[in-house]
């Protein structure tokens, strides 16, 4: 018998959780497309490592942008290859929990459901990303107690005020980890007349990036292409130089959180004032982002343990609700037959 599973198809990573095994797939949402043979050659980690390093015959495509499908055909092939790693047969498809953005449109929802149904899924439960992240962070979502969760991924920051298994208020900023990389690329181009790729910008963010001055000291070497001569060059930048570019995206997220707090019901805002805000998602690992947001909204802010895995772990925990129709509090909404 095949295990039921949960799937998170994110801008940066696709993750699959299976009952009994836990997180079975955790790979970049990327695919290498052979333009000559018109087929996918690689997906996941191997594909992402080729970003910026392929010849004219091949293209590295990231089919998920800002949390939604941008290239349906590539996304379908990519997800299919991931699913085949954990599902041995398509004859009997196990029950599936799909993690989706909190403000997903009907068109975006249909695209995701059609994608899974292509592989035989006929019983699908959907869970909103902040709710899944809250469960993965250890929050009791069934309690009549307000919790504010902000999941900062690659393509978006998805946030919600949660109580009694549902969302009292949701918000989305379609700028997150990838937008931070782009700000670094723009800064290096304008300051040093140097072009760098996404890999280089992401590594700089991870190794030397912070949104709080004084958090990271020393210099960081960046290699790229001179925009004047076209020759390879490298520069040593001060880590402090990355603070301002990264604060641009962090500022957008903080502003949206502040706006949501202003619209949160009084009873729930009291709970949030006591407990603070929980950050999840891969970009929540950025140095100082909890302090930056905390200072902006004047509340306690903490980063969950292993924040990048909270949403998929919570989605995996939600599989239990697929088999328990009597549950008084159910974070899932039904889709499919």
The confidence band for 3, taking pLDDT boundaries of 50, 70 and 90, is confident
The confidence band for 86, taking pLDDT boundaries of 50, 70 and 90, is confident
pTM of the model: 0.93
- DSSP for 7-51 reads EEE-SSEEEEEETTTEEEEEEES-EEEETTTTEEEEETHHHHHTT
Three-state secondary structure call for residue 67: coil
> For 151-179, how does the pLDDT look when each residue is reduced to its tens digit (9 = 90+)?
999 999 999 999 988 899 999 999 999 99
> For 91-149, how does the pLDDT look when each residue is reduced to its tens digit (9 = 90+)?
566 889 999 999 999 999 999 998 888 877 778 999 999 999 999 999 999 888 999 99
> How far is the C-alpha of 175 from the C-alpha of 106, rounded, in Å?
21
Give, for 113, the enclosing helix (H) or strand (E). Answer: helix 106-117
93: DSSP letter: P
Q: What percent of the chain has pLDDT over 90?
A: 79
> For 283-297, how does the pLDDT look when each residue is reduced to its tens digit (9 = 90+)?
999 999 999 999 999
Residue 106 sits at φ, ψ, to 5 deg, of: -65, -35
pLDDT average, residue stretch 207-231:
96
Tokens describing residue 332? 């899932």
Which domains does the chain carry? 5-131+313-336 (3.30.420.40), 139-175+246-308 (3.30.420.40), 177-245 (3.90.640.10)
On the 0-12 / 13-18 / 19+ scale of CB atoms within 10 A, 276 is middle
User: Over 50: is that where the pLDDT of 249 sits?
Assistant: yes
How far are the Cα atoms of 84, 252, 278 from residue 67, in angstroms, in the given order?
22, 17, 20
The confidence band for 336, taking pLDDT boundaries of 50, 70 and 90, is very low
> How far is the C-alpha of 311 from the C-alpha of 331, rounded, in Å?
13
> How far is the C-alpha of 160 from the C-alpha of 251, rounded, in Å?
18
Least Cα distance to 155 among 75, 253, 293, 276 occurs for 253
User: Over 90: is that where the pLDDT of 2 sits?
Assistant: no
Least Cα distance to 282 among 243, 316, 308 occurs for 308
Torsion angle defined by CA atoms of residues 187, 61, 315 and 290, in that order, rounded to the nearest 10 degrees: 0
Q: Which residues pair with 28 in a beta bridge?
A: 13
More confident residue, 116 or 188: 188
Least Cα distance to 120 among 19, 5, 241, 200 occurs for 5
Residue 37 makes CB contacts below 8 A (sequence gap 6+) with: none
Angle, CA of 242, 308 and 25, to the nearest 5°: 125
pLDDT average, residue stretch 67-71:
90
> How far is the C-alpha of 280 from the C-alpha of 12, rounded, in Å?
14
Tokens describing residue 304? 């969950």
Three-state secondary structure call for residue 275: helix
- In the Cβ-directed half-sphere of 227, how many Cα atoms lie within 13 Å? 12
Tracing tokens 């690329």 back to the chain, one arrives at 185
319: DSSP letter: H
């Amino acid at each position: 018998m095949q295990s039921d599973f949960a799937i998170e198809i994110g801008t940066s990573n696709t993750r699959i959780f299976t009952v009994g095994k836990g997180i079975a797939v955790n790979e970049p949402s990327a695919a290498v497309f052979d333009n000559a043979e018109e087929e996918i050659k690689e997906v996941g980690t191997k594909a992402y490592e080729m970003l910026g390093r392929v010849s004219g015959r091949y293209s590295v495509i990231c089919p998920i942008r800002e949390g939604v499908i941008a290239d349906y055909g590539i996304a379908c092939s990519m997800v299919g290859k991931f699913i085949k790693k954990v599902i041995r047969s398509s004859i009997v498809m196990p029950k599936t929990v799909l993690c989706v953005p909190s403000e997903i449109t009907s068109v975006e929802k249909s695209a995701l459901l059609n994608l899974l149904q292509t592989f035989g899924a006929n019983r699908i439960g959907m869970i909103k990303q902040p709710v899944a992240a809250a469960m993965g962070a250890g929050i009791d979502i069934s309690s009549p107690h307000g919790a504010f969760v902000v999941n900062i991924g690659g393509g978006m920051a998805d946030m919600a005020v949660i109580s009694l298994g549902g969302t009292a208020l949701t918000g989305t900023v379609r700028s997150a980890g990838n937008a931070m990389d782009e700000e670094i690329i723009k800064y290096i181009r304008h300051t040093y007349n140097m072009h760098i790729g996404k890999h280089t910008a992401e590594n700089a963010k991870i190794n030397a990036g912070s949104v709080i001055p004084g958090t990271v000291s020393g210099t960081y070497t960046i290699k790229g292409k001179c925009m004047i001569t076209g020759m390879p060059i490298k520069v040593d930048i001060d880590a402090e130089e990355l603070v301002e570019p990264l604060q641009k995206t962090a500022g957008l997220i903080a502003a949206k959180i502040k706006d949501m707090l202003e619209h949160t019901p009084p009873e729930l805002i009291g709970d949030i004032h006591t407990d603070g805000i929980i950050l999840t998602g891969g970009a929540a690992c950025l140095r100082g982002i909890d302090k930056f947001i905390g200072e902006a909204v004047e509340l306690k802010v903490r980063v969950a343990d292993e924040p990048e895995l909270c949403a998929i772990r919570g989605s995996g925990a939600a599989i239990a609700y697929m088999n328990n129709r009597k549950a008084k509090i159910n974070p899932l909404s039904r889709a499919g037959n």
